[in-house]
Chain A
Amino acid sequence: MQRVGVFVCWCGSNIAGTVDVQAVSEALKNEPGVVFSTNYQYMCSQAGQDIIKDAIAEHKLTGIVVCSCSPRMHEATFRKTAAAAGLNPYMVEIANIREQCSWVHKDMLTGTEKAIILGKAAVAKVNLNAPLTPGESPVTKRALVIGGGIAGIQTALDIADAGFPVDIVEKKPTIGGKMAQLDKTFPTLDCAACILTPKMVDVAQNENIRIFSYSEVTEVKGFVGNFDVTIKKHARFVKEDICTGCGACTEKCPMKKVPNEFNLGMDNRSAIYIPFAQAVPKVATIDPNYCNMLKKGKCGLCAKVCAAGAIDYTQKDEYISEKYGAIVVATGFNPISMDKFDEFAYNQSKDVITSLEFERLTNAAGPTAGKLVRPSDGKHPHTIVFVQCVGSRCSACAEKGKEYCSKICCMYTAKHAMLTRDKYPDTEVYVFYIDVRTPGKNFDEFYRRAVEEYGVNYIKGMVGKVTPEGDKLKVQASDLIANKQLHIDADLVVLAAAIEPDKSARPLATMLTASMDTNDFFTEAHPKLRPVESPTAGVFLSGACQGPKDIPETVSQAGAAASKVIGLLAKDKLTGNPCVAHSNELMCNGCSSCERVCPYGAISYEDKEFRMPDRTTKIRRVAVVNPAVCQGCGACTVACPSGAMDLKGFASAQIIAEVDAICK
């Protein structure tokens, strides 16, 4: 039996004004387990806390009930008081007789009556309380960043700067991501490569950062502070540590007809390749789908020209296991496929391109060395039509488009239109828009400049049909303000394709038990207050994997994610919340109901040996809760059909005792 002490607070007149505190402390004296009951003006004051401490010592209290303000206000205070007096802090219960009693009821009689009942409920609960100790787990002081675009780069740099080792896993042969493919950046028109490549070099030179390029995460186990991750390093058939990146092999390689994915297939590369001049790591990679040596065993030219002797045709995929304390997801985005948009003739004409292809076409390092020409005949286009919201804000068909706004298209289209008019004033540029969305610093000014200073024709309406006819593209569109249907003979049509999360994101989310929305964007722990954390402890989000974002937003989120990681890695030990679920293995029948409702993946199953009454042993599958992962919501306790699962601090017996106390 517990020895309970009851402390009723007056809170000046806040409580004492509508509750007869003397009557409450008298009434609670007779409750089972109560050995001491008193009241005082301000329980939370130093003097009040001393009363509690003295009573704990004097009456050998094992549990205390404080009838005072909301536990959200002073539960922590009174727990500290109890701990200072040598009592387990989780043996404290608060009866909320201020916010939920004295402040909402006017009449002394009803207020007192209710306060007594609330006090009784708290006493009934504390009688069933058990001392709880928060679990501790060590923290591996190393972070993993999945994805090496600008989001991953910035996160890794920030974490490394704080002195923690970071690994970047990037599935492409080089880091840099989408930003490396861009020409200029809105609204300042800095050249993307000029601001990105120094950061890539910083990553390569940072002693705290390791880059696993051409690699993927294949398995994640463990929990916050203690993740065990398996990384698959794809065989690139080139020894990374020996290759100097001189490029001799790429020149000599006879297989030169491989579509160059860096330029979105608008030109070709060799079978052994370095994606672009500033690649990091600057190491060649052999594409096994095209290399004659790997496919047919004939050639070997690259090995002959390689002065360093870095080529290794026998290289195999390699699996690396590493421990991490925190994981940052920075898997980024891709433009959606245009295959379903027959009306824009993307697959029929080479001169209908996406905006990312347009970036490559205008990029000085791109397939045309920055000259804006038609991909079909290399001629200069005189009329260019930009179509916005291709696949964005499309709710009609989930396979065709995305319901959300892709956020960046309005601005990059304004940039494309402006740059085109700037470089080629003889070009007529039309932009078809549904709405122009420019919330951001200097964004609207930028768009207005495109219209007012550069003479871009912005037309409110949509393109309905593009038909290739001769060397022209017949564009049929509506102008909603003039209430006209327009027919434009265009030379080039640029589609602002919606963006979607990378396809690798969903399997990764499953591995991480991180949740996603229906569009495959990672969900954050709280949409407003915890925007860079995933609900799964120890997993953080950076960049467009969480939602469409432009570069400044991505960089700020990357920095925020890094600071959260640093905050975690700076701790030597993690103290958990002791109010976690636990399973009574004697009652558990291993049905998996709890595992299915757990939003955190905290529940796993173990085969355990049990001694049966007849002295035989039997192996049964039982649920085990990982206290470091469990957040204590209690969903599993209700799902459990056998009642084996219970929640510490909010045990079923405790809640039922409260119900009984209230309903007496």
Chain B
Amino acid sequence: MENKYLQEELIRISGVNPKKCMRCGKCSATCPAYDEMEYHPHQFVNMVESGDIEPLLASKSLYRCLSCFACIDRCPRGVEPAKLVEAVRLAAIRKQGANHLTADKVPAMLDEDIPQQAIVSAFRKYSK
């Protein structure tokens, strides 16, 4: 029941229709953070579509997505997987209460091998 509600909520906040996906896998093919993720972009879309959202909420993959939007750019069907990832992230934050992380906890969680989400999305936003 909650899955159904969550699924609808995710589709609503992201504005993504996962049913448009034709399962070509170009999002996962193009993803630079693929190896760091437990669930890959195409799986995000598929799992939201099938309502299998709990594992996504618990997964670290949420914070491994760089938010570079390469998948959005390349998706031939206009599904926009990164928006879905962003929506799941938001759902996780809302679930835990808005202030689930304190600033001093962040450094320990960072992965040195991959660039930080905030930096990448800032580049994306402001480089235009």
Report A-B touching, CB under 8 Å: yes
* Residues on the B chain within 8 Å of A480, using CB: 23, 25, 28, 42
Q: A463-B29, A477-B29 are in contact. Are A434 and B78 (CB under 8 A)?
A: no
* Residues on the A chain within 8 Å of B15, using CB: none
Residue ID in chain A nearest B73 by CB atoms: A343
Cross-chain contact A393 with B26 (CB below 8 angstroms): no
Give A461 to B79 CA distance when docked, in angstroms. Answer: 16
Give A395 to B23 CA distance when docked, in angstroms. Answer: 14
Q: A478-B42, A480-B23 are in contact. Are A397 and B78 (CB under 8 A)?
A: yes
Query: Contact partner of B22 among A393, A401, A464, A483, CB < 8 A?
Result: A393
* Residues on the B chain within 8 Å of A395, using CB: 20, 76-78
**Number of residues of chain A lying within 8 A (CB) of chain B:** 22
B89 to chain A: closest CB distance in Å? Answer: 21
A394 on interface, CB distance cutoff 8 Å: yes
Query: Contact partner of B23 among A434, A463, A477, A479, CB < 8 A?
Result: A434
Give A463 to B35 CA distance when docked, in angstroms. Answer: 16
A1 on interface, CB distance cutoff 8 Å: no
Cross-chain contact B28 with A478 (CB below 8 angstroms): yes
A510 on interface, CB distance cutoff 8 Å: no
* Residues on the B chain within 8 Å of A277, using CB: none
B75 on interface, CB distance cutoff 8 Å: yes
Q: A434-B23, A480-B23, A485-B34 are in contact. Are A464 and B28 (CB under 8 A)?
A: yes
Give A389 to B43 CA distance when docked, in angstroms. Answer: 21
Query: Contact partner of A465 among B22, B30, B76, B79, CB < 8 A?
Result: B30
Cross-chain contact A393 with B28 (CB below 8 angstroms): no
Cross-chain contact A394 with B77 (CB below 8 angstroms): yes
* Residues on the A chain within 8 Å of B28, using CB: 461, 464, 478, 480, 485
Q: A485-B31, A485-B34 are in contact. Are A478 and B25 (CB under 8 A)?
A: yes
Residues facing B in A366-400 (CB within 8 A) are: 389, 393-397
* Residues on the B chain within 8 Å of A463, using CB: 26, 29
A549 on interface, CB distance cutoff 8 Å: no
B113 to chain A: closest CB distance in Å? Answer: 15
Would you give the 0/1 interface string for B29-56, flagging 1 where the beta carbon is closer than 8 Å to chain A?
A: 1110011000010110000000000000
Q: A461-B25, A478-B42, A480-B25 are in contact. Are A343 and B30 (CB under 8 A)?
A: yes
Residues facing A in B86-113 (CB within 8 A) are: none
Cross-chain contact A464 with B42 (CB below 8 angstroms): no
Give A345 to B93 CA distance when docked, in angstroms. Answer: 39
**Number of residues of chain B lying within 8 A (CB) of chain A:** 23
* Residues on the B chain within 8 Å of A343, using CB: 30, 74
Cross-chain contact A464 with B26 (CB below 8 angstroms): yes
* Residues on the A chain within 8 Å of B31, using CB: 464, 485
A63 to chain B: closest CB distance in Å? Answer: 59
A497 to chain B: closest CB distance in Å? Answer: 13
Cross-chain contact A460 with B75 (CB below 8 angstroms): no
Residues facing A in B10-25 (CB within 8 A) are: 20, 22-25
Give A395 to B42 CA distance when docked, in angstroms. Answer: 17
Give A294 to B70 CA distance when docked, in angstroms. Answer: 49
Residues facing B in A439-486 (CB within 8 A) are: 460-465, 476-480, 483, 485
Cross-chain contact B76 with A464 (CB below 8 angstroms): no
Cross-chain contact A396 with B77 (CB below 8 angstroms): yes
Residues facing B in A472-526 (CB within 8 A) are: 476-480, 483, 485
Q: A395-B77, A480-B42 are in contact. Are A434 and B30 (CB under 8 A)?
A: no
| Residues of A in contact with B (beta carbons under 8 Å apart) | 343, 389, 393-397, 401, 434, 460-465, 476-480, 483, 485
| 7 closest residue pairs by CB, A with B | A464-B30, A464-B29, A396-B78, A462-B26, A394-B76, A478-B29, A478-B28
| Residues of B in contact with A (beta carbons under 8 Å apart) | 20, 22-31, 34-35, 40, 42-43, 70, 74-79
